[in-house]
A = this chain, B = another copy of it.
Amino acid sequence: MQLVRSVSQAKKIIASIKKRGMKIGLVPTMGYLHEGHLSLVRIARKKCDFLVVSVFVNPTQFGPEEDFRKYPRDLKRDLRLLKLEGVDLVFYPSVSQMYPDGFRTYVEVVEWSRLLCGASRPIHFRGVTTVVLKFFNIVQPDIAVFGSKDFQQAVIIKKMVKELNLNVRIVTGRIVRESDGLAMSSRNKYLSEKERKNAAVLYQSLKSVKRAYKKGLRKPRPAVEMMAKMIEQKGGGIDYIQTVDKDTLEPVKKLKKGTLIAVAVFFGRTRLIDNILL
């Protein structure tokens, strides 16, 4: 497994891999890997000949008041885990490699970037699409694998790929959960013991709505209210609970197959997201 820090070095290696006609896979991550990431790596490993994992805490997707600086990092551990998964190349660029002074080129899936998480994080998705497009151009993957906890991210990236005519297939992996149902996230580390325990309500509330839907509930509003009540009882501060179409992210008038219930909640100062598909 090679560790590459410079864009030019990565491009050189990729060019030689391309020449040999090998199929390239990419899993972009911000590091501090958990089983969620590793499940994506395993999916990608099966679908390509040369597997690249990027580890980069991307500053352009963090707002000025957000946790860019304190976002957890542990490269040594990440490398150990990735080696065990048979990764071929870890791309670990510095911020200045990715964003040289005077950087000013951004790609944005407009409007969609302001929905859901984008309402409270207005520059977030612009940062995500920009860095992902850069990774695509550097690594030139045939396939790239993204997680489903960040459902909106995956939808937006698929939209970008289609509309910019990129030659990469986007694959999504399932949400991996702790034993109490909390979706795995590097940010779970921020939670106090009590917050961690209470945070399990996120998935419980999503499952409650899905059960109610299976029993006949079709109105979005009572579904949202049911979730809000459960979450607030556990001290969660709701950023949003929304019922949207899984492909267009537009609010639905009726719950149905293909409706995504998406939620973002603060426990203390930690913002967690989760979702379930009806």
Contact = CB atoms under 8 A, between A and B. Distances in A.
A267 B13 CA distance: 53
A97 to B, nearest CB: 10
A107 interface: yes
A138 B248 CA distance: 25
A81 to B, nearest CB: 27
A2 interface: no
B107 A107 contact: yes
A159 interface: yes
A127 to B, nearest CB: 13
A232 to B, nearest CB: 34
Contacts of A109: 104-105
Of A7, A112, A160, A164, which is in contact with the most chain B CB atoms at under 10 Å from its CB?
A164
Contacts of A7: 165
A103 B163 contact: yes
Nearest to A18: B18
Interface in A120-168: 129, 133-134, 137-138, 140, 159-160, 163-167
B104 A106 contact: no
Size bracket, chain A contacts: 20 to 34
A105 B159 contact: yes
A197 interface: no
Interface in A164-208: 164-167
Given A134-B164, A164-B134, A165-B134, A107 B110 contact: no
A133 B7 CA distance: 20
Nearest to A111: B104
B106 A107 contact: yes
A34 interface: no
Contact of A159 (B104, B107, B112): B104
Contacts of A111: 104
Contacts of A229: none
Nearest to A10: B165
Contacts of A167: 11, 137, 140
B137 A105 contact: no
A88 interface: no
A245 interface: no
Nearest to A163: B105
B105 A164 contact: yes
A271 B133 CA distance: 35
Contacts of A105: 107-110, 129, 159-160, 163-164
12 contacts: A104-B163, A105-B109, A105-B163, A106-B107, A106-B108, A106-B110, A107-B133, A133-B164, A134-B164, A137-B166, A137-B167, A138-B165
